[in-house]
Amino acid sequence: MTRRLDLAMLLLLTFSTGMVDAIGYLGFDKVFTGNMTGNVVILGMGLAGAEGVPVLRPALALVFFMIGAALSGRILGDIGENWHHRTTVIFSSVAVGCAALSIYVAVVPDPEIGLAGTIFTSALSALMGAQAAAARKMKIADVTTVVVTSTIVGLASDSRLAGGDSTRWVRRFLAVVLILIGALAGAATLMLNQWIGIAIVAVLVAAATVIGHLGEKKKQTRAEAADPVPSNA
């Protein structure tokens, strides 16, 4: 049951990543802050001199994503695949960071322009890197929260049409659909104001953190009830 809660939490984060990437790409000069594959491709085209394709922000986003992932990995250490209090720390930090960035975007004039936009995309990429590293530690197959390419490959190659048994097709399908709907939602929030989408992401990450944390608490409670500590009396 706990792993199902973990899966639900990661699917929720997959939706929020769709929002994040839509906001970064459409609102902040074609930068992916969650999907680094997209950034690498954009960076390659930009370095080739393609007109209107940025170089600085995708490059910095890639660097800061790696920094965020490295720091997250250092904090988490060898905790195994189960939820840990350090996992709560990482996801809580991502939620607080996104909330702070929503305030930043709300108060800074023209936050998408110049240095202000570069700071935003770099900081958000670091947060997404930390999130991705924490999600990877949990080892929920086919759900990384930041990319669905391998998920789509698995969905197609293991399908009955391909002669497979459609293993884990529900979670794979949900991951693809949720990142798609998340991108749609993120693009829609840009019609209102840039800060709104990031604020929603902060709420979603906070909700995912609560789901995961409470799920692990319930697991610990059941384990203690099943194996009580002998009394010394």
Dump pLDDT digits (tens) for 92-142.
Answer: 999 999 999 999 999 999 999 999 999 999 999 999 999 999 999 888 888
Domain-embedded: residue 51: yes
| Residues of the domain holding 135 | 2-218
Residue 29 has pLDDT above 50, yes or no: yes
CA pair distance 149, 131, nearest whole angstrom: 18
pTM over 0.85: yes
> Tokens in use for 8?
């639900």
CATH number at 63 reads 1.20.1250
Domain-embedded: residue 210: yes
Domain-embedded: residue 228: no
Exposure pattern of 174-211 as b/e (b: 16+ CB <10 Å)? Answer: bbbebbeebbebbbebbeeebbbbbbbbbebbbebbeb
Give pLDDT tens digits for 6-28.
888 899 999 999 999 999 999 99
CA pair distance 99, 108, nearest whole angstrom: 14
CA pair distance 173, 208, nearest whole angstrom: 19
Domain-embedded: residue 28: yes
Share of the chain above pLDDT 70, in %: 94
Domain-embedded: residue 230: no
Number of independent structural domains in the chain: 1
CA pair distance 231, 208, nearest whole angstrom: 37
Domain-embedded: residue 231: no
Polymer length in residues for the chain: 233
Domain-embedded: residue 13: yes
Contacts of 75 (CB under 8 A, 6+ apart): 86, 89, 90
Domain-embedded: residue 227: no
CA pair distance 56, 83, nearest whole angstrom: 36
DSSP 3-state of 166: coil
- Half-sphere CA count of 181, side-chain side, radius 13 A: 11
CA pair distance 106, 183, nearest whole angstrom: 21
Give pLDDT tens digits for 176-196.
999 999 999 999 999 999 899
